[in-house]
A and B are shown apart, each in its own frame.
Chain A
Amino acid sequence: MFDFSKELDLEAQRRRAAFYFLAPMIIALFCVAAWPLLRTIYFSFTDTSLTNLYGGEWIGFDNYLQRRELSSGRVIWRGTLVDPAWWNAVWNTVRFSVISVFFETVFGLGIALVLNAEFRGRGWVRAAILIPWAIPTIVSAKMWAWMLNDQFGIINDILVRIGILERGIAWTASIDTAMTAVLIVDIWKTTPFMALLCLAGLQMIPRDIYEAAKIDGVHPLKVFWKITLPLVRPALMVAVIFRMLDALRIFDLIYVLTPNSKATKTMSVISRENLIDFDKFAYGSAQSTLLFAIIAIFVSLYIWLGKVNLSGEGNQ
């Protein structure tokens, strides 16, 4: 309507530049994320095998759930959704995620409160707690595997010396303690991350609030529950969701620390096992699709319910 010249105004010029700037990234993400995801979902509806990637045929939902009537008239159900191993993995994953994130949050908040106090050597302590975070997961799995060794492990030695245990236990091999071992290592490794995020949240609380509370003679515990916690809650919730999503997809620690233990096998572990090791490529694809669906639903619910402004757009 007011097209006085063919020239683009500044805004239009910038939008065009933005398009060219974004295109390579979007194409890259499409290639490494969207396309493989779609292919995985596709494979889950076929009978593709690892050795014959292009020979799969469409079999519908059979990898998920399949009803078969035998000649005797008996009906049997097959597929991931009735596979006890799968449900065991789901249970392990959920158990692991909830417990580990819970303890990481509690310990992380505790450490953050300590680091938020002013004392000599605070910088050193903060550096020290970054060490577990900096160590590669596989390395920490191996370190702890050695420390938790049944015969020569230092953990058993300590526990026996102080009289908690009578005799060393096979932490990683025993069905009863394998999950505990995994939890210990994960909590040890990830609490620093939580602590740092909590600390960042705590440091955004203005100091004078505490001073006002101190002058008013409010009990420190009450200060924590009534002032600190509500104020760090938004930061804490974001940290918890990030950790939760991370925990739900855990693979490496469990694969290395407790290989082949039924007590710790998670969804990621069992999916990969089927995909690659057992050559049930399509079946594994169905399981990884389910894991994706669970996480996707979880995230959508969270964003929808929490109305979380993850993009930070409101800051502008």
Chain B
Amino acid sequence: MTRTPWEWTRLIGFYALVVVIVVISIFPFYYAILTSFKSGTAIFEINYLPVDFSVQNYITVMTGRNFIRSVINSVFISGVTVLLALFLAVTASYALSRVRFRGRSLLLITILGVSMFPQIAVLAGLFELIRFLGIYNTPWAMVLSYTIFTLPFTVWVLTTFMRDLPIEIEEAAIIDGATPWNIITKVFMPLLWPALVTTGLLAFIGAWNEFLFALTFTISETQRTVPVAIALLSGASEQEIPWGPIMAASVIVTVPLVILVLIFQRKIVAGLTAGGVKG
């Protein structure tokens, strides 16, 4: 196929644009990795290509007093929150997508509204509730407060997915004598497990990244989640920001997420769109 010069220009321009998009997308992450492998004062020299390969920063972070603890906290909190949300959401979204009852639309709108809540608006009330329950400065404070965004999100996305399941399969199950509970556990759950994984993953990422509640409801370093730990990571003195260890910590908590996202790429896009544009 021969191309005219104009077509060549357009083609080159197009690929240049693609390259720019890709570079801007991945450069900060690349640069964080590059920085994290620099040791000592090398960090203050600006390099565009890797020059150093020192794991000193990683050792500093991992042997630091509480970083591993924070990772464990985050995994525990996010995991428990997501499981709880999925458990409540599966039955709720069955009711919302499959059963005709009055006020269903209103309930759906309310749930969507809650997911768009400014979290600061419940901060004072949650603070009181958490103090009242005696779970301030424990992981349960986060498990409780994260439910405000994980639950509406999972309900909403699973409702969208369930609505798309063929009605006749459910009717066949009804004829076979299945109760609504049977339908959910024996028919819909096996059909929806990819959607459940995706929804769970997205909710997990949301919980993993949360900052406001985690910052407000913890006080001791051992109870911090990863984002709080990274945000408050400080050096020997106030002025001296330990950039190397911060970058190392950032890479440690981001790499698993990036890998997960790349593996589940297609499903994530489907999940996001289900939660977003099915208007």
Contacts and interface: CB of A to CB of B under 8 A. Distances in A.
Interface stretch (A29-37, A67-75, A76-84, A209-217): A29-37
Interface stretch (B1-9, B56-64, B126-134): B126-134
User: Would you call the interface of chain B mostly helix, strand, loop, or mixed?
Assistant: helix
B112 A310 contact: yes
A53 B128 CA distance: 7
Interface residues of A, number: 105
Contact of A152 (B18, B43, B254): B43
Given A29-B111, A188-B28, A288-B120, A146 B212 contact: no
A279 B180 CA distance: 50
A273 B88 CA distance: 34
Contact of B101 (A18, A130, A141): A18
A170 interface: no
Contacts of B55: none
Interface in B124-154: 124-129, 131, 144-145, 147-148, 151-152
Interface of A: 10-11, 13-15, 17-22, 24-25, 28-29, 31-33, 35-40, 43, 53, 111, 114, 117, 119, 121, 124-144, 146-147, 149, 151-152, 154, 157, 188, 192-193, 196-197, 199-201, 234-235, 237-239, 242, 245-246, 248-249, 251-252, 255-256, 267-268, 271-272, 275-276, 281, 284-285, 288-289, 291-292, 295, 299, 303, 308-313, 315-316
7 contacts: A39-B128, A40-B122, A43-B124, A134-B254, A136-B209, A142-B231, A268-B118
A272 B120 contact: yes
A126 B118 CA distance: 30
A247 to B, nearest CB: 11
B94 A21 contact: yes
B180 A311 contact: no
Given A255-B211, A299-B116, A21 B180 contact: yes
A39 B124 contact: yes
B147 A134 contact: no
A39 B126 CA distance: 8
Given A21-B91, A33-B148, A53-B127, 12 more contacts: A15-B101, A20-B91, A21-B180, A25-B91, A32-B144, A114-B18, A125-B21, A128-B22, A139-B250, A310-B108, A312-B160, A315-B278
A239 B276 contact: yes
Interface string B180-215: 110000000000000000000000010011011001
B279 interface: yes
A125 B279 contact: no
A295 B99 CA distance: 31
A195 B126 CA distance: 34
B46 A139 contact: no
Given A17-B95, A134-B261, A291-B118, A139 B254 contact: yes
B118 to A, nearest CB: 4
A189 B247 CA distance: 17
B142 to A, nearest CB: 11
Interface string B102-122: 001101110111101111111
B77 interface: no
Given A17-B181, A32-B147, A313-B105, A24 B91 contact: yes
Contact of B28 (A39, A134, A144, A295): A144
A130 B118 contact: no
A138 B28 contact: no
A25 B88 CA distance: 6
A142 B36 CA distance: 12
Contact of A39 (B125, B211, B272): B125
Q: Which of B120, B151, B277 has the most CB of A within 10 A?
A: B120
Given A22-B96, A142-B231, A154-B31, A268 B279 contact: no
Nearest to A204: B277
Contact of B26 (A14, A128, A147, A248): A128
Q: Which of A137, A246, A252 has the most CB of B within 10 A?
A: A252
A312 B95 contact: no
